[in-house]
Every structure is written in structure tokens, then in C-alpha cells.
Amino acid sequence: MTEFEVAEAAVQGALDAGARYADARVMHRRHEAMHARNGEVEQLHQSEDSGVGVRALVGSSWGFFAVPEPTTAGARAAGRRAAAIAAAGAAVAGPPTDLTPGTPAVASWASACEVDPLEVPLSTKGDLLVGVTAAMRRAGADLATALYEVWDTAKWFVSSEGHRIDQRIRECGAAMSATAIGEGETQIRSYPGARGDFRTAGWEFVDALDLPAHADRVAAEARALLTAPACPAGETTLILGGEQLALQIHESVGHAIELDRILGWEAAFAGTSWLDLAKLGNLRYGSPLMNITIDPTIPGALGSFGFDDEGTAAAARYAVREGVWTGVLAGRDSAAAAGLDYAGSVRADGWARLPMVRMTNVGLEPGPHTLDEIIAATDDGVLMETNRSWSIDDRRLNFQFGCEVGYEIRNGRRGRLLRNPTYTGIGPVFWGSMDMLSSETVPYGTPNCGKGQPGQIGHTGHPAAPARFRNVRVGVSG
Amino acid sequence: MTQELDHATRVLAEVAATGGGEAAVAVRRTANALTRFANSVIHQNVADETTTVLLTLHAQGRTASGSTTLTTPDGLAALVARTRAAAALCPPDATWPGLAPPTPLTGSAPCDEATAGAEPAVRAAQVRAFVDAAGGLSTAGYCRTTAHVGAFANSAGQAVTGAVSEAGIDGIARLGGADAVARDAAVRVADLDGAVLGARAAGKVRALGDPVDLPPGDYEVVLEAGAVADILENFGAHGFNGKTFAERRSFAELGAAQFDPAVTMVADVAEGGLPFDSEGTPRGRLALVDAGTTAGVAHDRRSAAEVGAAANGYAVAGSSWGPFPLYLGLEPGPAGGAGPAHPAVDPAAAALVAGVARGLLVTDFWYTRILDTRSLVITGLTRNGVWLIEDGQVVRPVTNLRFTQAYPRALAPGNVRAVGGTPTRVPREWLGGWMNSPALHLAHWHFTGGAAG
């Protein structure tokens, strides 16, 4: 019994029970995470899960059912169950759900991986985390933490239209942070970002991060922040580091261009979008420097794949071009509902969850400057780096971000450290104020994007570089 | 013996046969089903049934944990072998807190078999009632039913089992760009009433027409159950988390009068959830705040050992987040008098609205994120309905606002004017279960701007 045979049985079960379309994913996933604290391994956890999820379309509703450890008979039964669940939606039905035409691919794809992260000895990985947390403690951190995570996912996809695709995707990354604890507050510095950084790559990516080289610096900066002046309140010129800009893109562009949100399918929880489909192709999203791509083909980026979880081949397209909104993240059902002819952005968090519209790699194309040039061109402003908090409204317009560290910018030079830097704004106004953009692009990976009911965690990539924004409100505090 | 306890004892036997060590095995079988609707149509209808086996092994002074969904004999044997190999390569674990000793359960929540096995037609009927009661307005939301069957066994002799059910409805009605919400949760899906909730959401959204902008600043507020649930969520995740407490990143000081005397916050196994945690420690009634005094935090065995306390049943399997309280609730205040019978006002908040001279009625908080764990400063926005209250009456709807507020300061002595007399069970989005949330009347809440800029 092969995984494809299990998936085919699930699809056939759904069709036999009345589905007009069905697909199934057999998935096998291994995950490993190690956490260290203050020079000791705090936790090592390895998990393995395996199962089949089958999706059946009946009338206006998807039905989805998932079971672990499938046999062909069990998968066939799961398919029948999925169709029955879908059919129950007839009690509150709408017009039949259509799918935009797809190409039934028969293919195999694997992400590049030089060093299998699950084959790297645990002692090597443990030594790394123990070493950097001990170093941060020695350098003044009250609390020093570090982690790595590894995912190794194999999946086999079959649809009633003839798709037959297998993929293997290996992802990993690491994080470290130093916390200084004061009387009334804590200060934290992290590397390479607040949530670390992750790629669709092997352990060579973690090696390249070179955590030990940053241990002393982040600890010293966390301690210095405790006595740094607070970020002043007011309107000023804001320079964002690339890691923070990556999250700004994720929250105020990536989620806003999800077609299921635009159509109201996520209205009750994740929310909707300020974007109106009638303005696709005409709406100004930001300044002419703003070119945002949806690109799951970027080698090594965390949102990369060969095919999405409904079998659409990875392809790049613009979401925003020279500041004008031009594209969305879509699935075959949402694209059909919106009258669009492309999909390719549907993924599921494991075999037990229904695939849904998710970000792939949504990023900003490089600009013509460098961070040094941006600072040198700024008379008065604030540079903020490394995300600490993030909040945005349910239409993806009003945001407030906090960063770990700020720097005063005066007369083209980086000045004093500023603690508790925050900034707030409205998406298109903010993006419209971007007047300088660096070419120093990094495809930051975000491994914790939440969406859906039941909740799903997605892995997304966000190419970003430092940029400058004018007349931004900073220093918001409680 | 349940099938889940059988899995656990098989894993323990395999551990004993392959080298021994201190072993703890937690098994959970979860059946999730959720019927989701948008634009007044059921569009996603999902279910899954998964059994997860978690092994924590401490052997030769080293510790590792592993989990699997493969419950065949080969799958369980592989789990043991993999976890043993991982432990052998780990550095020594100098702070291993030992296994939970054999201890009887101290209570449990009920399990409703009809809810545990509810067919999609049951959930669809609740959705139908919600949609119909909204009187033609566009609606969105879900009805869910969940069952957990758990077992735990360790090599120290602890062996316990439990089963719980849960159901929830959470939906919005939409009109003219505004949304309003109604929600409820229960052990029995039959105790939910989609029609009542649909009518309430529709009534609220019809009262949201033509909202006005208000300037930022400090406002007196009445927070309805959804907003209070967010406060509880953040206190639980950050403030009363045994790990953040042990690391001195929490505001909590045991024995200190950090809250208004009207505040009593508890986590109670009688409300819901399995009666033991993933380390096998029984979960009972945990008072976090007792009449304004900080009384406890949630602990697993490791955080408890770090501060010299006793574990109290809140270990989270395979997570480094730290232990946090489940089924958290505020003890309700005295039943108040009648309040305004305005469609904007949830009946559970009406008596509190009557006591406001000038302030805001807030339905929900949204996308709240922590700026600093120690001060528990949070930023977020209002959602699903805000109204201006003057002289005890709702006078007009208000556009959404952003706030930046230290949550302990919001519930500090003197800032809590009243706690509502009737709690609402607010279903949780990510972890299941619910928060037991009465409405709150607070003297000050710090709004930092309008959501429109």
C-alpha cells in the first residue's frame, strides 16, 4: 500500500459518496525542537505525525475529514465521511462553489537541503544552544534563551481531476534572546529576529546564522536598554530595519491581499480586508518604490514549495507594482468566486486541517539604496529594529508595532539608544510615505502565522530590506 | 482499562523492557468538529479524530520527550526508541523535577456523549438557527463540538483517565460595514441556542449605524464578556504563567494586594478540561487572585520546583511556553439592578451600564499583543461594537479605538467599579474550552487613538 494508493482511496470514497470534486493529502511530518535557557538544555521534543486529510466538495460547502494511520479501507471511509460532512452544509446552502480551472500535475518536488537537520547530532545542536545562552549570561543577560526547530514534511497529493504530486519540504531555523530585568519592566534583544529566522533549507542555514558571534552584543544591548531614554512621542521620520519591515509586510500587505478575507470568508475571526476587488489594478497601496511580489519559487525562502496544497504549481506574480495593487493570494475556489484566473496560495497546517489561502513568500523587491545611505540622508528621525510586538485591526489598516531597540538619528548619524520604541499608522498612508528603500534584501521567515478555525499555523517568507518612512507617529505608550 | 490507558501502559512496558528510566506517558484522543459559515452560507465543514501519545523519558540523568500519532505496536516502540536515543545525547538535566507521585483526582468536568458524537447535522441546525434569527443580515461564524479522552501513566505508579466534551457557537452579524458578535459555550451542545445568539448579534449590529469618532484618552468603560475574556487570556498566558513567574518576568507578587478587592480570579477543573495535566498532576480549583490579593500561579513540576511550590496541574505537553491556567474565570459580582434594555447591551452587562456617568461600552478586544511581560502593557483594538454611555444610557455608537493599557493597572485597587453578576462562557479560539467572563465596569481604560488613524 503506497501513500498515493491511500490518497486515491480517499478521493474515490468521497466521489462514491456524492462529491463532485475531491482531493486528499497523505502527510508524514517530523518535528524537532530544542530550547535552552541560561546555559542548560531546557527541553528537547521530537514529534512524528502521519495521516490523511480528504476534502470533498458538495454544493456550496467543503467537507473535510482526517484520520491518522490510514489504510486504504480507512481512507475510503474517510472520503465518504468528508462527503457526508460536506452534504450537511446543505442546511445552510448558497450557490454551488466552483473551482478555477487547474492543470492536473503529475510531479515530484523537493526543497534543497545540504545538511539534513535531523541528522545533525543532538549533541552538536545542544552544544550550540547551551554555548550561546551561557555566553549571553556571562555578558549580562538576566535570562538567556535559544532554540532551534526543524520540520521534515513528506506529502502525497491526489485529486479527482488527476493530480498526483509528491513533495518533501525540509525547514529549519534558530533564535536566541537576552533579557534584562529591571524594576518595572524587561528589555530584550534577539538575534536574528524576535522569532528567530527560518528557511526551507538544511542545517547549513543555522550554521550560517552564526549565533555565537552575536551573543555578547545582544546581551549588552538588552542591559543598556534598561537605562536608555524612552523613545520620544511624536511624528518623525522612521527608518525600519529589514526584520521589522518583514513583519510590516506580513501584517499590512500579506494578510490584506488574502482573497478569502477580501470575500468575507474569514470575517468572523481573522477578519476582512480594506481592499475592494473592484479596485484591483487601480488602487494605490503605497509609493512608487513599493513593489510587492507573491513568489513561492524563491530558493530557500520559508514560503517556498513546488505545488500548493491543492496542486497548483508555484508561480511568481506581483501583488503591488510601483505602488498600485495588482494581485491577491488565492485558492481555486476563491479565485472562481472573484472571477480571477489564478490560484496557487492554498496550504494546510498538516494532514488534519483543511487547506486554506495562506501567504507564500510575500516580499518587497529591493530598492536603490543602502541602510547607511538612508541614515546619512536623514536629518532627524528614529531607526527601529527587531520586532517586539505587533497588532493590527481586522481590516488590516490600523497597526501598532513595537520594536526591541531604537536609535536616535541626527544629522545623518546613528545616535543614542532608545528604549520601548513603537510606531503606529494606517497601511496605505504609511506605505505611501516610503521614500527610501535599501537593496540589502533578506528573505526573512515567519514560522508562526495564525489563521483559520480550527486554528492553523503557517510558515511564510518575507523578503525585506531597510526602508524610510516620513511623518510617522512614534512613541505610543500606555 | 480504556484504550488510551492501554496505549500508555504499553509504552511504559516498552520503556521498562528497553533500559528503564523514569517515564511519563500522556495519551489524548481528540475528536474535533467545526461547522463554519460566512456570507450566511456553510462553506467549510471539518472534522478530525487524532490520538497523540507523548512520552517524557529521564534516563541516566538526561531528559527528552517525544510524541506520535502512530499508535500501532511498531509506532509506539519507535517512539520509545527515538526518545531514548534523544535523551542519551542530551546534556545532563540538573533540574529534573521527578515524576508525579500516585495521587487521586480531585474533581472533574462532565462529558456529554451526545456532544462528543454530534453529527454535522446537529451543528448545521445551530448555524441555521443563528442565520435565521439574524433576520436577513449577513452572518459568519462557527458551531463546534469537541471531545477529549485522556489517559496518563508513569513509572512511579500514577495512572488516571478522564473525558470531557465541549461545544461553542461564535458568530457575527454584519450591516453597513459594521460587525457585532454573540457567543456561548457549554459542555452540552444542546445547551446552546443559535437563535438567541443570532438575534443578539443582529440587534447589536443594527445599533451600530452612523458611529462617531471620539478623541483618544482615558475613558470609563463597561467591558462585555468578550473583552473581559481577552484580559483573562493575557493574565493567564503571561502573568500567572509559572515559568514567567519563576523567571521574574511576571508582575505577580504572591500575597500582595495587586488587584481591586472585587477581583477574584480562578481556574477550576469543575468548569471543564481533563482533570489532570500532561505530567499526571491532578487539576483542582486554583485561586489566582482572592479578593484582590494575588494568591497563586499555574505550575508544572519544573516551574514549581524552581520556586519551591507544588505543581498544580497545568503542564503543557511538548511546549516551552510554560504552564498557564485553563478555564480561567472571574468570580461574578452581586446581581445588579435592571439596566437599559438597549439592543447594544448584552443583558449580562446591563446593570453595569446603568452605573456609568460617561464612558464606553466595549464588546470585544482584538489582536492584543504584549509590549512588556513584567508590566503587562498590552496594545490592541476594540472590535464588534463600541458605544458611548451617558448617564447610564447608551447614546450612540463609536468607531473602533486602539488602546495601550497595563492590564494589572486596569484591575488595580480602586479602578474596578463593579463586576457583573452573570458570567458568560466565551469560547477560546486556539486552545478550545472557554473563559468564564462576567462584564466589568472599570474607572479608566487608556485609548491611544482611533482605528482610522
CA distances from A25 to A156, A165, A450, A454, B52 (A): 6, 9, 21, 18, 19
B263 and B392 share one domain: yes
Q: Which residues of B are less than 8 Å from A429 in CB distance?
A: 453
Q: How far apart are CA B269 and CA B273, in angstroms?
A: 6
Same domain for B195 and B329: no
CB contact under 8 A, B90 and A122: yes
d(CA B239, CA B438): 20
What cell numbers appear for A277 in the block?
476587488
Q: Which domains does chain A have, with CATH numbers?
A: 3-226 (3.30.2290.10), 234-474 (no CATH)
- Cβ contact B50–A68 (<8 Å): yes
Write the residue in A97, A130, A389 that is nearest to B370 by C-beta.
Answer: A389
Note the Cα B448 to chain centre separation in Å: 27
> Cα separations (Å) of B50 from A51, A154, A155, B47?
9, 19, 18, 10
Instruction: Find the domain containing B223 and state its range.
Output: 207-453
* Residue type (1 letter), B69: T
User: Who among B65, B249, B404 is closest to A476 (CB)?
Assistant: B404
Together in a domain, B360 and B277: yes
Measured between CA atoms, how close is B370 to chain A, in angstroms?
Answer: 6
Label residue A436 exposed, middle or buried (CB < 10 Å: 0-12, 13-18, 19+): buried
Cα B301 to the center of its chain, rounded Å: 21
Helix (H) or strand (E) holding A420, with range, is: none
**Which residues are registered as beta bridge partners of A389?**
A402
Residue where one domain finishes, among candidates B205, B234, B259: B205
pLDDT tens column, A106-156: 999 999 999 999 999 999 999 999 999 999 999 999 999 999 999 999 999
Task: Give the containing element (helix H, strand E) for A217.
Answer: helix A215-226
Q: What percent of chain A has pLDDT over 70?
A: 100
Write out chain B residues lying below 8 Å of A49, CB-based: 50, 52, 67-70
Q: Is the CB of A450 less than 8 angstroms away from the CB of B46?
A: no
Identify from A1, A40, A47 which residue to disrupt to test chain B contact, counting B C-beta atoms within 10 A and taking the largest count.
A47
The predicted-structure confidence for A165-198, as pLDDT tens digits, reads as follows 999 999 999 999 999 999 889 999 999 998 899 9
For residue B218, give the C-alpha cell: 482615558
Mean pLDDT per 10-residue interval, chain A, length 478 residues: 97 98 98 96 94 97 93 96 97 95 96 97 95 98 98 98 98 98 93 95 98 98 97 97 98 98 97 97 98 98 98 98 98 98 97 98 98 98 97 95 97 97 97 98 96 96 98 91
- Give the Cβ contact number of residue B276 at 10 Å: 26
Among B30, B36, B139, B364, the strongest candidate for a mutation testing the A interface, having the largest count of A CBs within 10 A, is B36
Residues B199 and B220 both lie in one domain: no
CA A104 to chain centre: 27
CB contact under 8 A, A45 and B66: yes
Residues B160 and B211 both lie in one domain = no
Question: B107 with B270: CB under 8 angstroms?
Answer: yes
Distance CA A140, CA A217 (A): 10
The predicted structure's pLDDT at residue B338: 79
For cell 466595549, the residue is B362
Which of B11, B44, B63, B446 is the best residue to mutate to test the A interface, defined by the most A CB atoms within 10 Å of its own CB?
B44
Pairing mode of beta strands B293-294, A422-426: unpaired
User: Is residue B198 domain-shared with residue B306, that is, in the same domain?
Assistant: no
Cα-only R_g, chain A: 23
In this structure, the answer to whether residues B281 and B430 fall within a common structural domain is yes
Closest chain A CA to residue B139:
A268
Q: What is the DSSP letter of A211?
A: G
The reply to whether residue A398 touches residue B451, judged by beta carbons under 8 angstroms, is: yes
Q: Residue B74: its chain A contacts at CB < 8 A?
A: none
Pick from B91, B248, B449: which is nearest to A424 by CB?
B449
On whether both B190 and B280 belong to a single domain, the answer is no
Q: Note whether B4 and B51 are within 8 A (CB).
A: yes
The verdict on B381 and B233 lying in the same domain is yes
Question: How far apart are the C-alpha atoms of A311 and A320, rounded to whole Å?
Answer: 25
Can you tell me the distance from the alpha carbon of A324 to that of A287, in angstroms, rounded to the nearest whole number? 8
Quote the CA–CA distance of B267 and B297 in Å, as a whole number: 10
Contact B43 A402 (CB under 8 A): no
Note whether B148 and B221 are same-domain residues: no
Domain boundary pick from B205, B221, B248: B205
Question: Do residues B28 and B159 share a domain?
Answer: yes
Q: From first to last of its 453 residues, what are the pLDDT tens digits of chain B?
A: 899 999 999 999 999 999 999 999 999 999 999 999 999 999 999 999 999 999 999 999 999 999 999 999 999 999 999 999 999 988 889 899 999 999 999 888 899 999 999 999 999 999 999 999 999 999 999 999 999 999 999 999 999 999 999 999 999 999 999 999 999 999 999 999 999 999 999 999 999 999 999 999 999 999 999 999 999 999 999 999 999 999 999 999 999 999 999 999 999 998 999 999 999 999 999 999 999 999 999 999 999 999 999 999 999 987 889 999 999 999 999 977 778 789 999 999 999 999 999 999 999 999 999 999 999 999 999 999 999 999 999 999 999 999 999 999 999 999 999 999 999 999 998 888 999 999 999 999 999 988 765
The domain that holds B100 is classified in CATH as 3.30.2290.10
Cβ atoms of A420 and B398 within 8 Å: the answer is no
